[in-house]
Amino acid sequence: MEMRIENEIKLRVPANFDISRAIAHAGPFTAMPLEKRTLQTVYYDTADLRLTRWGSGLRYRAGDGWMLKLGLPKGDAGLRRLEVTAAAGSSGAPPAELLEVATAFLRGEAVRPVSRLRTLRKSMRLCDKDGRDVAEVVDDNVRATSDDRPAIRWREIEIELCEGAAASRLRELQVAFEYLGGDATDQTPKHVRALGLRTPLRCELDAPSVGRSSSCADVIRAALTSSVERLLRQDAFLRLDMDADAVHAARVATRRLRSDLRTFLPLLERSFACDLRDQLKWLASELGAVRDADVLVQRLRAGEPSLPASYRPSVRRTVSRFVAECAAARERLREVLKDQRYCDLLARLITAASEPRLAAAAHSPASDVLPTLMRDPWGKLCEAVQAVDDGDHSAARLHQVRIRAKRCRYAAEAAVPVVGKAARRFAKRVERLQRVLGEFHDANVAEQRLRKLSGDGDTMFAAGLLAALQALDAAAAREAWRKAWRKADKKRLRTWIL
């Protein structure tokens, strides 16, 4: 499979729209005409249009083969999507590898043709004065059919950034095309327009708007929805290349979900919250094995440049042993992602975020309840710090302070839409404490792993050098956490906690 990020803007234009004038208005570009094509495209989705609801699409185009487009967070303008292309195959049989990439959205549901498009396409490539590719402009005349609905026609222009071009160039072109009559207010993809829907489809996860007058129920739904959506949107990246950032984001989403279910436990049915926390613990553990291995390798590699060049070959050989562990953890996670247990968990999470099983107290005003709920995570954090003050300065005890800080931060962040700036300032200070202790934990773990390493003389020497670097980092973080705690423990930051 091949992958790329698509950055484009769509414009609806009248039949007499002059592209040449718009390009000239945008600036000094050289337009190179490309081949004119007639495109025959069939789009596939589930009966309840799950891919469409998630801003994604699966298509077969005659001559080009299969492509899956997954919606990404918007950039400065237009659409951002991950394009995943499979080898050309026959129409009517979506490749299994593409369906697997879309597992988080499909969750076992079969796909079928939902719309057909015939597009007359004229394309041109725009180059700047130095001959560098900036964008590709396509002029599409589209005829679309879907089920028994009458055919619809429209003209549409797409402007897609070329690789390496500045994002600001897309905005410049959009402004020029709009000045001459283009309309970029509606970025609906072609296959969605072809469905002829009277109202936009809502995503499976639709978070309520939360403000000062919201109920606890709305706060809970918003918090759970945010994390579940984050987890589902990382799934494809986990499957495609096991990107370290995707693993981290997915792990954070699972941890935040577990923390929120714990914080809001008095407002939820206990069995519902506890069962879901147990399932999330399993997933967090699998993600954590990969993330911890990634962090270890990253830390060791970061230390290499500070060592004399003559030592670096031995250092690389030493680090390679941990790289092998990282690869094994990633392979294990790949198997987890194929497990029906994981797919079932995603379905449960969507239901839990949309329709959490609430206790009667959840219907109370959040402004009355959340400040009281914060007493528990804040009190637990204070207890953990007090244990250190009482003489337990061990790494394990500091790790407990970090865990308590994380829970306290997540609870405060969930309260921000209701409480406002006071909760946000408090959460930022606690986050700083968490990060300093996270640096200590990562450095300490790396040092201990290196100390336990066995091997020949060169390996042990390299491990000793790397361990010394990690020990220095751990010592610096151990010194810094007290300052971070004092800043978080300001009375003025927690006046909102009752």
The CATH number that applies at residue 448 is 1.40.20.10
Q: Does a structural domain hold residue 320?
A: yes
* Same-domain status, 182 and 265: no
pTM for the model = 0.91
Determine the pLDDT at residue 88.
64
* List of long-range contacts for 65-74, beta carbons under 8 Å, 24+ apart: 65/89, 66/94, 66/95, 66/98, 68/98, 68/101, 68/102, 69/6, 69/189, 70/101, 70/102, 70/236, 72/5, 72/233
Identify the pLDDT of residue 198.
66
User: Given pLDDT bands bounded at 50, 70 and 90, which one contains residue 359?
Assistant: very high
In a domain, 206, yes or no: no
The pLDDT of residue 203 is 87
Between residues 434 and 453, the one the model is more confident about: 434
> Residues 273, 416: one domain?
yes
Give the mean model confidence (pLDDT) for residues 43-53. 95
Tell me what percent of the chain is helix, strand and coil, each rounded to the nearest 5.
60, 15, 25
- The confidence score (pLDDT) of residue 320 equals 93
What integer is the mean pLDDT of 48-69?
94
What is the C-alpha R_g of the chain? Answer: 27
Residue 459 pLDDT grade (very low, low, confident, very high; cuts 50, 70, 90): confident
Q: How far apart are CA 239 and CA 106, in angstroms?
A: 14
Q: Are residues 124 and 267 in the same domain?
A: no
Check whether residue 115 and residue 227 sit in a common domain. Answer: no
Range of the domain at 68: 2-194
Whether residue 35 is found in the same domain as residue 78:
yes
pLDDT at 15 over 90: no
What's the DSSP call for residue 424? H
Do 76 and 221 share a domain, yes or no?
Answer: no
- CA pair distance 339, 330, nearest whole angstrom: 14
Backbone phi, psi, residue 183, to 5°: -125, 110
Residues 233 and 145 in one domain: no
Q: Are both 323 and 463 inside the same structural domain?
A: yes
In a domain, 388, yes or no: yes
What distance in Å separates the CA atoms of residue 403 and residue 249, rounded to the nearest whole number?
17
Are residue 190 and residue 222 in the same domain, yes or no? no
Same domain, 316 and 347: yes
Residue 201 covered by a domain: no
> Do residues 423 and 463 both lie within one domain?
yes
Domain of 25: which CATH number? 2.40.320.10
CA distances from 247 to 240, 308, 321 (A): 12, 33, 21
Q: How many domains does the chain have?
A: 2
In a domain, 352, yes or no: yes
- pLDDT digits 0-9 by tens, 314-348: 999 999 999 999 999 999 999 999 999 999 999 99
Residues 53, 123 within the same domain? yes
207 within a domain of the structure (yes/no): no
**Per the domain annotation, does 223 fall within a domain?**
yes
Query: Could you tell me if residue 287 is inside a domain?
Result: yes
Q: For tokens 């407990």, what's the residue?
A: 400
Quote the CA–CA distance of 51 and 34 in Å, as a whole number.
31
**Buried residues in 124-157 as b, exposed as e (16+ CB within 10 A):** bbbbeeeeeebbbbbbbebebebeeeeeeeebbb
- Range name among 10-14, 164-168, 232-236 with the lowest pLDDT average: 164-168
